[in-house]
Amino acid sequence: MRLIQIVLVVGALSSLLAYLGYFRSAMRDRLIALVLFSTAVGAIVIPEATNVVANALGVGRGADLLTYILATGSVFAAILLYTKIHNTERTVTELVRSMAIMDAEVPQESESEENDHLPAKRAA
């Protein structure tokens, strides 16, 4: 095993442990993370496997296949993040509106405001 493979496996393992340790997620999401981790470690330890899969899918090289997968995954992640941010902004806006309505005070009329609609007296 080469040094880069060791570094990449340790990095992937660290990412998996950080995800499983610090983020609360559904069991389904944890299983997806485990599958992705296993696939990444398999591709790191046996790099020739990516060539075999790429050739079976009609892609020339394993590196090209991984690039295509990474590009597709990045677009998907960007769309998910945009959607979550948009929904969060909408929720915050609704909460702020509700709080503003709840905290609103009825304006009290003063004498000057009551007399504002009357015509001004002219000096004779």
| pLDDT in single tens digits along all 124 residues of the chain | 899 999 999 999 999 999 988 888 889 889 999 999 999 999 999 999 999 999 999 999 999 999 999 999 999 999 999 999 999 999 999 999 999 998 888 888 766 655 566 666 665 5
Phi-psi sector, 28: left (phi>0), alpha (psi -120 to 50), beta = alpha
Q: What is the residue whose two structure tokens read 């309505």?
A: 101
Of 78, 77, 81, whose CA–CA distance to 89 is shortest?
81
Neighbours of 65 (CB within 10 A): 20
Task: State the pLDDT at residue 123.
Answer: 59
Of 41, 65, 44, whose CA–CA distance to 53 is shortest?
65
Q: Helix (H, G, I), strand (E, B), or coil: what is residue 118?
A: coil
Reported pTM: 0.64
Domain map of the chain by residue range?
3-103
